[in-house]
Amino acid sequence: MASNSFNKPKKVDKAKIKVTANKRSSITAQSQWQAYLQHHKLMAVDSLQRLLSSFSSSLMTWLVLAIALSLPMTLYVSLENVKQLSRTWDQSSQMSVYLKQGTKQRFADEITAELRSWPQIQSAEYISPEQALNEFKASTGLTDVIEGLEANPLPGVISVIPKLGNQDAGGLEALEQSILEQPHVESVQLDLLWVKRLYQFMDLGQRLVWALAALLGLAVLLIIGNTIRLSIESRRDEIRVVKLVGGTDAFVRRPFLYTGIWFGLGGGLIAWILLSAGLYWLSGPVERLISLYGSEFVLKGLGPSDSLLLIFDGVVLGWLGAWLAVSRHLSRIEP
């Protein structure tokens, strides 16, 4: 019945079967380890082939995962860019320090000199009430109205430019506070108050990124979990047979965990492609827009570490989702 090529080993094997029929041949630890690795490789390839053989439905899952993974990453990249942009704005932020009405020129000069000596201040310039009034007249042309005033309503102002660089919202606030503590200072106004607000918004944005990442991460888990659940259902017979011939839980779990990993990896890669393409698409208009303002801002793309993080997240979530589904549903299938 057998073809000729098998005739020789056949005879030998038959004899062997008889000899060892009653005792189980020993499996060494080394061969067991090799077989373990072999099975991993086999399952990795097999589960990928299964995904590719039903390509359109797999692609659908991959796209859904990619969208879920890319949304928080998009927000994160935007936020990083706004941060970078706001750093350049920060450098032009200016503070107006209003002195109390009737502060003598002598005291004003003293405070100006004092502020100038502070390390976190780049320059400070005193503008007396008269100067201010003249500037106001010149810029508004309301000379007649102003001539009609009994007294100069404007206070003295020290215009302060904080030192460039590592000023964040907290730093500016602290500076504002210590200037307020100086004598004769009525109030301090951050000319770019909105920079401060922007920081608060960015704080909020950061939290939003985390919340969104957590929610969509959960979505990824659920999507993968559900997909794996379906795949467990469709392979119910196989699982039963494997358990009956002595497959351990780990053995039964393995192909499904690999399926999860492939889903996660695919989702992560597509998310990365989507994001990179989107950023490339935006980079032209953004650069033209920025060049109008003469800024040196460059649209920041996905760095290598961000890219790796994105793909790694996909893989971990895929594996975890599969694990959750498998541990929930596999124990229910008993022979």
Binding site for other proteins (CB under 8 A): 1-3, 6, 9-10, 13-14, 16-18, 20-22, 24-25, 27, 31-32, 34-36, 38-39, 42, 237-238, 240-249, 251, 334-335
- Are the C-beta atoms of 217 and 308 separated by less than 8 Å? no
Q: How far is the CB of 219 from other proteins (least distance, A)?
A: 31
CA distance 330 to 233: 9
- Kindly compute the dihedral angle of the four CA atoms of residues 162, 167, 169, 174, in this order, to the nearest 10 degrees: -60
- Our CB check for other proteins shows the closer of 18 and 288 to be 18
Q: How far is the CB of 234 from other proteins (least distance, A)?
A: 10
- Our CB check for other proteins shows the closer of 173 and 238 to be 238
Beta-carbon neighbour count of residue 41 at 10 Å? 10
Q: What b-and-e string marks burial along 43-59, b requiring 16 or more CB atoms within 10 Å of the CB?
A: bbeebbebbeeeeeebe
- Our CB check for other proteins shows the closer of 108 and 239 to be 239
Q: How far is the CB of 221 from other proteins (least distance, A)?
A: 27
Residue 165 Rama label (left phi>0; alpha psi -120 to 50; beta):
left
Whole-number Cα distances in Å, 116 to 37, 103, 121, 215, 314: 70, 19, 6, 49, 53
- Our CB check for other proteins shows the closer of 197 and 236 to be 236
Residue 184 Rama label (left phi>0; alpha psi -120 to 50; beta):
left
Q: How far is the CB of 64 from other proteins (least distance, A)?
A: 26
- Are the C-beta atoms of 318 and 263 separated by less than 8 Å? yes
Q: How far is the CB of 9 from other proteins (least distance, A)?
A: 7
- Our CB check for other proteins shows the closer of 7 and 117 to be 7
- Our CB check for other proteins shows the closer of 131 and 331 to be 331
Q: How far is the CB of 57 from other proteins (least distance, A)?
A: 17
